[in-house]
Structure 1
Amino acid sequence: MILPTEPIGSIPRPPELLAAVADHAAGRIDDAGLAAVRDAAVRDTVRRLEELGSPVVTDGEQAKPSFVTYPLAGVDGLAPDGVVIPFADGHQRRLPRLTAGPLRYGVRADRYLRAALRHASVPVKQAVVAPSALSLLYPPEGVAGYPREAFLDDLVAEAEADVRGCLEAGAHSVQLDFTEARLALKIDPGGGVLEEFVALNNRVLERFSPGERARIGVHTCPGGDQDSTHSLDVDYAALLPALLRVKAGIFWVQLASEPEPDKALAVLAGHLPAEARVFVGVTDPVDPRVETPEEVRDRVLAAARHLPLDRLGTCDDCGFAPFADDVSTSRETAFAKIRARIEGTALAARALGG
């Protein structure tokens, strides 16, 4: 038998790209010079994933400033002092704050997809930011002349266009990065914020046909960044039932770093929607140690004891560098972990097929 396996998204950027981004910011190279280095990084990422035998590839998010802020490039009406996201090791990330409307994306994800498709000979998936994440741009005090309801209407329309553009451009699948799902329960253990996030994402997904939703999914993880997380201490049992009410056809679920994977798998199996496919994380990008194929195999076999084989696949827990400046994991380590995932998944498929 064959078990599908695929990356989540980001791959650490090569030193040449990081240097080019710094040179561009300092005015030492122009837009065309930066674009050429970015395209070379995308080409190298796709090539290396294909050489490892990845049946589905991504662009590695080489051109994105981060998985969450890419739509905001060139957008006016933003201030830098928005919501702060604290991580377990003490570092923080900060989102912009909306100061004026209407919200319009400055960049859509199909731009990155089309660049990857030029270099790929296998299917390409595309990650997009979930609208729930961008809803955090709107400040509690409101925005003069731009009610929250109008902002959410605009956000839903922009998010729909972002996803639809990727489907129309030929994406194998579109992955909504919903890392704020687990964080929502840390902010509000009662679950009200999480329910709002789920409802908002469903407003977007309801605009697509069942056939389209079969190619659209959500990814959840505890927010890996700089070898730390923002919400790994939140119990999956509190998250998964709500997460699985998202009207998506695919779920990519962090599991390798989960302290109680069997407990999480039992909850996942009990709430998995009919017809939905689930990809379980079998490599941990936050852990610098490279898993062996045998460890991956055993994680897959554990998942197979809970989940139907015809709806099971594997992935990495999360992206390896969701923010462009994250150099905590080397590019070589990321590809070594991906190799272990692909080889370990094949070992599990042979064991299950026998």
Structure 2
Amino acid sequence: MTMPTELIGSIPRPPELLAALRSGDAPGVRAAQEAAVRDTIARLEDAGSPVVTDGEQSKPSFVTYPLEGSEDLASDGVVIPFADGHQRQLPRLKAGPFRYRVHAEQYLRAARAAASVPVKQAVIAASALSLLYPADGIDGYPRERFLDDLVTEAEADIRGCLEAGAHVVQVDFTEARLSLKLDPSGGLLDDFIALNNRVLDRFSEDERARIGVHTCPGGDEDATHSLDVDYASLLPGLFRLRAGNFYLQLASEPDPERVLSVIAEHLPSAARVFVGVIDPISPVVESPIEVRDRVLAAARHLPADRLGTCDDCGFSPFADDTSTSRDLAFAKIRARVEGTALAAGELGLQA
């Protein structure tokens, strides 16, 4: 048996890519993105990562990549406030039918061409994109039709990655915890889970074993949007999602033992849970020993053969986030890989 370890997705962009993005020169941006993808994968492999991503170097953000180039959007969509006072704003859909302009498969194919180890691909959850639809509706395009179109597009995004050889597909559901801040009754979370299950139900059991769901309290410019929401209010609902893997923020949680007990109580019998052992927004690099101890703590609550490790969130999930350095991110990833191997050895597993 092995103990898998995976990063969540994004890596801070190198200075050359940031400069190209500021310049607005399209050929220069493409060249810088391609170079950044190659460098990211090479450095992940050098850090010993058994599974890699492209670091989302070519995405404008982990949320909005399907919308790049769309003319059916306005800029005044839902606002997401962060604890330090900064905000991110989603676009607003102006007209239907809703279609992805970009599918994640294109990022995956480029990454696989540069990688010598398995590649995972992150995609955005249908629930996040459901926030594009305005509260006052769109003439001639009712919300029900929008959701039907959205589910079809989200399925195609995942299926394209599976068919293109993704090791796993990770559905980013970071709005899950935020939904309980927006609606403490849990109604919005229930709607999100039902919508995402509409997508997951289009896949076979074997396919869902290669699909995972990631949740965290956000991690942008060294701030979160919902860390103050009780995890115990989220996890029972989250585990109703019909996915084979769950990637859960834990390293930055103030009471990880309590969270682990909730996970142990509600984790579906056939699912694997990847617990966060690295805090991406902390400036301190965790030691392999610290990572080992976090894994061993998790193994006291959860079966070791259904346990994996990950980072709490992506590093710099928005292209303009420069709060974390690239070198710091790779140092933390190396610590996760080495610490997981130490823990696996003590548990009689292979890393």
Q: Deviations over 1:57-115 (max 9, x none)?
A: 00000000000000001112110000000000000000001111110001000011011
Quote the sequence identity (%): 74
Structure 2: how far apart are the matches of 1:52 and 1:329?
Answer: 18
Q: What is the rounded CA distance, in whole Å, between the counterparts of 2:2 and 2:130 in structure 1?
A: 39
Deviation at 1:43, TM superposition (A): 0.3
Aligned mates of 2:255, 2:230 — CA distance in 1: 9
Q: How many residues align?
A: 349
2:314 to 315, 319, 326: 319
The equivalent position to 1:144 in structure 2, one of 136, 139, 143, is: 139
Shift of 1:171: 0.2
Structure 2 partner of 1:244: 239
Are 1:177 and 2:181 an aligned pair? no
Between the aligned partners of 1:308 and 1:260, the Cα distance in structure 2 is 20
CA distance in 1, matches of 2:90, 2:264: 34
In structure 1, how many angstroms separate the alpha carbons of the residues matched to 2:165 and 2:44? 19
* Deviation larger for 268-277 or 87-96: 268-277
Q: Distance in 1 between matches of 2:72 and 2:152?
A: 18
Using the TM superposition, give the Cα deviation of residue 218 of structure 1 relative to its aligned residue in structure 2, in angstroms: 0.3
Aligned equivalents of 1:165, 1:353: Cα separation in 2 = 36
Asked whether 1:166 is paired with 2:140, we answer: no
1:264 corresponds to which of 259, 267, 271: 259
Does residue 1:208 correspond to 2:207, yes or no?
A: no
Q: CA RMSD in A?
A: 0.9
**2-structure distance, mates of 1:228, 1:165:** 33
Residue from 117, 122, 132 that aligns with 1:122? 117
Deviation at 1:300, TM superposition (A): 0.3
Match of 1:191 in 2: 186
| Aligned match of 2:13 | 13
Cα distance in 2 between the residues matched to 1:100 and 1:33? 32
Q: Deviations over 1:131-171 (max 9, x none)?
A: 00000000110011100000000000000000000001000
Q: d(CA) in 1 for partners of 2:191 and 2:137? A: 17
- Compute the displacement of 1:33 (Å): 2.6
Give the aligned residue type for 2:20.
A
State whether residues 213 and 245 of structure 2, in contact with CA within 8 Å, keep that contact through their aligned partners in structure 1.
yes
Q: CA deviation at 1:274?
A: 1.4
Which is further off, 117-126 or 33-42? 33-42
> How much has 1:36 moved relative to structure 2?
1.4
Q: Kindly provide the amino acid, as one letter, of the partner of residue 259 in structure 2.
A: A
Q: Offset of 1:273 from its aligned partner?
A: 0.6
Indicate whether 1:98 and 2:93 are aligned.
Answer: yes
Which amino acid in the other structure matches residue 257 of structure 1? S
Tell me the TM-score normalised to structure 2 length. 0.98
- Give the match for residue 49 of structure 1: 44
Report the alpha carbon displacement of residue 351 of structure 1 after superposing the two structures with TM.
1.4
* Structure 1 residue aligned with 2:334: 339
CA contact (8 A) 1:177 1:220 kept: yes
Give the match for residue 328 of structure 1.
323
What is the TM-score with the length of structure 1 in the denominator? Answer: 0.97
Aligned-pair CA distance for 1:322: 0.6
Q: Which residue of 2 aligns with 1:4?
A: 4
**Maintained 8 Å contact 2:174/2:218:** yes
Runs ≥4 residues deviating over 3 A: none
Please report how far the alpha carbon of residue 37 of structure 1 lies from its aligned counterpart in structure 2 after TM superposition: 1.2
Deviation at 1:352, TM superposition (A): 1.4
Q: Deviations over 1:147-205 (max 9, x none)?
A: 00000000000000000000010000000000000000000111000000000000000
**What is the distance in 2 between the residues matched to 1:302 and 1:33?**
47
1:115 partner amino acid: A
CA contact (8 A) 1:98 1:138 kept: yes
Structure 2 Cα separation of the partners of residues 251 and 173 of structure 1: 12
Are the aligned partners of 1:159 and 1:204 in contact in 2 as well (CA < 8 Å)?
yes
Which amino acid letter does the alignment assign opposite residue 192 of structure 1? G
Residues 252 and 280 in structure 1, CA contact (< 8 A), matched pair in contact too: yes
Query: Within 1, Cα distance between the matches of 2:301 and 2:96?
Result: 47
Provide the C-alpha distance between the structure 1 equivalents of 2:270 and 2:241, rounded to a whole number of angstroms: 13
Please give the secondary structure, in 2, of the residue aligned with 1:282.
strand
Contact 2:2 2:305 survives alignment (8 Å): no
Q: CA deviation at 1:275?
A: 1.2
Show structure 2 runs of 5+ residues with no match.
none
Secondary structure of 2:206 counterpart? helix
Kindly provide the amino acid, as one letter, of the partner of residue 72 in structure 2.
G
Q: Of residues 323, 343, 348 in structure 2, which corresponds to 1:348?
A: 343
